[in-house]
Amino acid sequence: MKALSIKDIAQKANVSITTVSFIINGKAKEKSISEAVIEKVEKIIEESGYKPNQIARSLRTGNTNIIGLIVEDISNSFFSKIARLIEDKAYKRGYKIIYSSTENNIAKAQELINMFKSRKVDAYIISPVKGLETDIQDLINDEKPVILFDRNLPDVVANYVGANHFSASYQSIENFVQNGRKNIALVTTNVDVLQITERYEGYKKALLDYGLPYNEDFVLKIHFNQDEAETISQIKQLLSAKKVDAVLFATNYLAISGLKALKQINKQIGDDFSVIAYDDHEAFELHTPGISTVQQPLEEIAETVIKLILNQLASKTKLPIQEVIIPAKLIIRN
């Protein structure tokens, strides 16, 4: 069964396809199509269930009404929640989302951008990987709306929306210090992105400001993509060999691994040992005791991302580049 085309509708209504097109696109009044014709055509469209072919429309107009979303991993709850919020807001404005996960792999990310390009997506929302600078710059030079989020690329001038990672991590350490902790460890990843670096810098600076020594042995950089079992074992080692009395986990999945490690070695969170996790996770609230976390304001991030995108999409002229830094919130749970 072949789908109906505008031609079929025009034939049934005994008008030209031009007229049908005007009516479909709400230009009937503007083009002064008579009320009678409008009604007739609309009735036929309604009855036949005709839906314009978006592919043809896209080829003609150059717009697809599709936004490309490129994240590290859609199954990570931070990204899937953002994806959901963005989807919601985009759909209300007639945009659909096509997504992809980079797995932190430059080659894959580049390939994805190329695919999205050849599919002519109208705009890009990207949680970038280092190494993507030129590709992103090309998009921007092409006048494509691009919003980076979560992590920024220092060497590219692009719109960016993200939490204040430095101060979030600084505050966490501050909290540890106020609770009398002195041997504070950081468990982070070896991924070389600004947002991770900033969390590290916040940690370092806070130690310095509070007169605590910085000890390299207290910083564990977990290899991205390594087995969770390996991660757990490294964390166990950090915690048992050293006199660590507090740990900041730089991502939620690291904290999850960390909690598993604690459970295995039977180390209790309490009077002489504290933990703070970056990014929330249901497990943290449920954990006994509750795990304090640094929360990125998801709703606000998604809202800002989509607002910037839609603004750019709506504007004929190039808008100034914006960096929106949103404070993260430290939630104390014990």
Partner DNA sequence: CTGAAAGCGCTTACAG
- Among the listed residues 179, 199, 201, 187, the one whose alpha carbon sits nearest the alpha carbon of residue 238: 187
* Burial of residue 320 (number of CB atoms within 10 Å: 0-12, 13-18, 19+): exposed
Q: Which residues pair with 43 in a beta bridge?
A: none
The option from DNA, its own copies, none interacting with 15 (CB < 5 to 8 A, set by class) reads: DNA
56 makes contact with DNA (CB under 7 A):
yes
Is residue 298 within 8 Å of 89, Cβ to Cβ? no
Distance CA 54, CA 95 (A): 12
Q: How many residues in the shown chain lie near DNA by CB under 7 A?
A: 31
> What contacts 14, CB < 8 A, 6 or more positions away?
none
Tell me how far, at minimum, the Cβ of 314 lies from DNA, in Å: 15
32 makes contact with DNA (CB under 7 A):
yes
The option from DNA, its own copies, none interacting with 1 (CB < 5 to 8 A, set by class) reads: its own copies
Task: Write the CA distances from 134 to 47, 129, 157, 201, 226, integer angstroms.
Answer: 50, 12, 11, 26, 28
Tell me how far, at minimum, the Cβ of 6 lies from DNA, in Å: 3
The binding track of 183-202 with respect to its own copies, each residue x by CB under 8 A or -, is --------------------
Q: How many residues in the shown chain lie near its own copies by CB under 8 A?
A: 49
Q: How many H helices and E strands in the chain?
A: 13, 12
Measure CA of the first residue to CA of the last residue in the chain; give whole Å. Answer: 63
Q: Which is nearer to its own copies, 177 or 239 (CB)?
A: 239
The option from DNA, its own copies, none interacting with 22 (CB < 5 to 8 A, set by class) reads: DNA
Q: How many residues belong to the chain?
A: 334
Q: Which residues bind DNA (CB under 7 A)?
A: 2-7, 14-19, 21-22, 24-25, 27, 31-34, 36-37, 50, 52-53, 56-57, 59-61
Q: Which residues bind its own copies (CB under 8 A)?
A: 1, 51-56, 58-59, 64, 66, 73-75, 77, 80-81, 83-85, 87-88, 91, 96-101, 114-115, 117-120, 141-143, 256, 259-260, 263, 281-283, 285-288
